[in-house]
Amino acid sequence: MVQVRVGSTKYRKVWRSWLHLRRIGLRKDGSGAYRGDLKRRQVEKLKQYCEKKRLSFRIDNEYGRRGGSYRSIFFRTHAPAFGNYYFCAYCGRLLPENQVTVDHLYPVGTASQDLKVQKKLKRRISGINDPDNLVAACRACNQKKGIQTGRWIRRGKIGRHAWYWELRWAFRFALAAGVVFLILWVGYQVTAMSS
């Protein structure tokens, strides 16, 4: 069963469809919207109905619910990389805990409204707020990512590991040290040759 919510829009008030909504088993909630649990195949039908009638439609099941506690879930389940600093999973910037925005690797918007996506995700994460779906991000990356998937998810999956950024920093440092060494060596050779 999937919980759905149907509400008014500026084009149409939901009460005008009350008869239809009651017939399929939805009931009015405190906010004036209609809620209820439907079977999977009914969900798609209702979605189409709402599109036609220009009502707002939302899947509101437990799996895709954002909830308010994911930030504390993240900090409870993820140790900082250094002190109280976390790496942004997307760009590697080091952020103190209070500047970390907790990002859903698979975005809430996509996962909460698409039952097919949920079905696929269920093999990997227990819900949208599963600790494995939460990564640290800087504000800029979080905004740039938005509801995008694909490339961003691949980046986040590697970038969530501190060792990846440590390796990159070590590599950059080694490269810089190598360049400096090479310049010094060439300089030494030139002065040795000319004297």
Q: Toward Zn ion, which CB reaches closer, 34 or 90?
A: 90
Binder to Zn ion among 138, 156, 159, 162 (CB under 5 A)?
138
Question: What is the closest distance, in whole angstroms, from the C-beta atom of residue 165 to Zn ion in the complex?
Answer: 11
Q: Which alpha helices (H) appear in the chain, and where do they start and end?
A: 18-23, 40-53, 70-77, 108-113, 115-121, 139-145, 151-159, 162-194
The Cα–Cα gap between 152 and 146 comes to 10
Q: Is 100 in the site for Zn ion (CB under 5 A)?
A: no
Question: What is the closest distance, in whole angstroms, from the C-beta atom of residue 34 to Zn ion in the complex?
Answer: 40
Question: What is the closest distance, in whole angstroms, from the C-beta atom of residue 173 to Zn ion in the complex?
Answer: 20
Binder to Zn ion among 34, 74, 87, 90 (CB under 5 A)?
90
Encode 129-144: b = buried (16+ Cβ within 10 Å), e = exposed: bbeebbbbbbeebbee
Mark the segment that binds Zn ion (CB under 5 A) among 32-40, 47-55, 80-88, 149-157. 80-88
Q: Toward Zn ion, which CB reaches closer, 100 or 141?
A: 141
Question: What is the closest distance, in whole angstroms, from the C-beta atom of residue 138 to Zn ion in the complex?
Answer: 4
Q: Is 88 in the site for Zn ion (CB under 5 A)?
A: yes
Q: From residue 111, give the alpha-carbon distance in Å to each of 11, 37, 47, 186, 188.
A: 27, 18, 16, 57, 61
DSSP 63-110: GG---S-HHHHHHHH---SBTTEEE-TTT--EEEGGGPEEEESS-HHH
Binder to Zn ion among 73, 91, 94, 153 (CB under 5 A)?
91
Identity of the residue numbered 183: I
Beta bridge partners of 57: 6
Q: Toward Zn ion, which CB reaches closer, 36 or 159?
A: 159
Q: Is 153 in the site for Zn ion (CB under 5 A)?
A: no
Binder to Zn ion among 59, 141, 155, 156 (CB under 5 A)?
141
- Residues in touch with Zn ion (CB under 5 A): 88, 90-91, 138, 141
